[in-house]
Structure 1
Amino acid sequence: MVGAPLRTWVDGVPDDRVSVFDRGLHYGDGLFETFRVQHGRPCLWRDHRRRLALGAQRLGLPDLDTDRLLAEVRALSADRPLAVVKLLVTRGDGGRGYRPSRDARPRRILSLYPWPDHPPAWSAQGVDVILCQTSVSEQPRLAGIKHLNRLEQVLARDEWDDPAIAEGLMADADGRLVGGTMSNLFLVLGDRLVTPSLDRAGVAGTVRAAVIREAPALGYVIVERGVELADLFAADGAFLTNALIGCWSIRRVGGRDLGQAPLLVALASSIRRLAATPD
């Protein structure tokens, strides 16, 4: 379980309180990003910035001042060699009712956290995952962006207490795999990297974007399509990505041995280097 933040800023100043009228609290009306930060430099910043811009456009939020945001991320984390910074952007205060105000003033909340202490074996030897019973809803307008409505992931993550289980895979209502509760999924099929299409559900992760962009240099062809459970068990290997874990290969799914192709070790190492590249 993640502990309390080391420090928090609200709208650019040290603070840890927000208004009870904030629409992020009432309706989940907003976005968030989680950055890996090294000596004050966020990794994959361009990908985070692009997703923020897309999310703001989808939700009808004003354009974000990403230059100011970058300066705040750097200042907040400058004294930490390796840390996590979480950003929340809400629509700001509002009255009762769903309709957002046309003159809303978005609120930004930045929190600094210590680097997570995941077992080193998860990177070196792969992870065990479960298949979650909680499904992912389809909503094309929200697909891909990192909006604040995360109750499905909360319910899915509550499905296991075993500390040996690193992640849970989630599917849509038709049983197609979408990704993990906090990660994106890739299958290795020969020289192809197959990842679930996220046009109807799921979060388009920043490391996922980097893998898609760099796949030719890594010797692979990217395929984005629907992924069935049978595809996972038939794959040469599979792995998970996000901004903090970089890359974890999947060792077992629901107690079933998935196996690892030898080439996956080198591939996972390359992806972890991508995830740890400051912009």
Structure 2
Amino acid sequence: MLYCSLNGIRTEDISITDRGLAYGDGVFTTAKIVDGTILLLMEHIERLKESCARIALSDIDWHALKAELVKQSTAFPLAVLKVMITAGTGGRGYSRIGVSKPNVIVMVHEFPKHYIDWQQAGVSIGIAKTRLGINPNLAGIKHLNRLEQVLIRKELDESQWQDLIVTDVQNNIVETSCANVFWIKNNDVFTPELGSSGVSGLLRNQTIRQLSEIKLIKEPLDSLVDIDAMIICNSVMGYVPVKNFNGHTLSLSVASRFIGKLVCNS
């Protein structure tokens, strides 16, 4: 870890009664730092605000948080920023009555250098056996309850793949273990709608805004049969082409044209 603070004070310690630890009661966002600048900074802050509103967290000094992020990021040419906001510290039980004000944790980590190789060479991905539950109340946001993703990542670590396509319990395509997904078939571009589960990533949302022709769908895994290309993305890895999906070779040139169009429009 390159940097860590709690409520603006440098430390790597937090109370064992923090509700993020006890119940996953909180939200987070993860961003890329390039040349001392946080990419999509305001979008990350707005997502934190929206996510906090969704789970009824308030009393957060957003101006102080932004100031800390801007100040601390200047020291890093290439790194990963993570901001977690927990409901605070409190006694045993689910109720937030008597709980302290939210805790804001800021961390900076080394950038995963293999993402650069992924962007250039593409990745091979399979299909996860672990499926996501249906929960419209939490769908889209990055909350701290990530046990499903932990199980998916364990499955990935024990596989031959670099990532896995994840479906929900109704077999609808949602995302990968750590990214959103787009695919191209007969010149049409698709991505899952995320009203029931999954994370609505900032790069995904920006892509949808840039290309109005993208079709948001709720479709089963069979929809990925005979596709031409696939791209996965998140705010840290950027856009990564998929060269092989579940043993089937996909077109890197088609994926690259899609990514190129996005770069030109940005």
CA distance in 2, matches of 1:158, 1:177: 19
Q: Give the % identical residues.
A: 31
Deviations for 1:209-238, whole angstroms, at most 9, x for unmatched residues? 11011114xxxx021111322222232211
CA distance in 1, matches of 2:76, 2:188: 38
Aligned twin of 1:264 = 255
1:13 to 5, 9, 13: 9
Give unmatched runs, 5+ long, in structure 1. Answer: none
1:245 is aligned to 2:241: no
CA distance in 1, matches of 2:75, 2:156: 35
Aligned twin of 2:218 = 226
Distance change (3 Å), C-alpha of 1:195 and 1:265: same
1:44 is aligned to 2:35: no
Native 8 Å contact 1:195 1:225 kept in 2: yes
1:135 is aligned to 2:131: yes
2:104 match: secondary structure? strand
Whichever residue aligns with residue 177 of structure 1, its letter is I
Native 8 Å contact 1:246 1:272 kept in 2: no
Normalization by structure 1: what TM-score? 0.88
Native 8 Å contact 2:28 2:144 kept in 1: yes
Native 8 Å contact 1:246 1:271 kept in 2: no
Whichever residue aligns with residue 37 of structure 1, its letter is I
Aligned twin of 2:78 = 82
Deviations for 1:11-65, whole angstroms, at most 9, x for unmatched residues? 0111110111100000000001101112332111232223212211110000543
Distance change (3 Å), C-alpha of 1:40 and 1:119: closer
Query: Which range moves more in the overlay, 165-174 or 15-24?
Result: 165-174
2:57 match: secondary structure? coil
Instruction: Kindly report which structure 2 residues correspond to 1:101-120, keeping only aligned pairs within 5 A, or say none.
Output: 101=97, 104-118=100-114, 120=116
Aligned twin of 1:187 = 183
Aligned length: 266
Aligned CA RMSD, in angstroms, stands at: 2.1
Distance change (3 Å), C-alpha of 1:270 and 1:83: farther
Query: Which range moves more in the overlay, 190-199 or 9-18?
Result: 190-199
Normalization by structure 2: what TM-score? 0.92
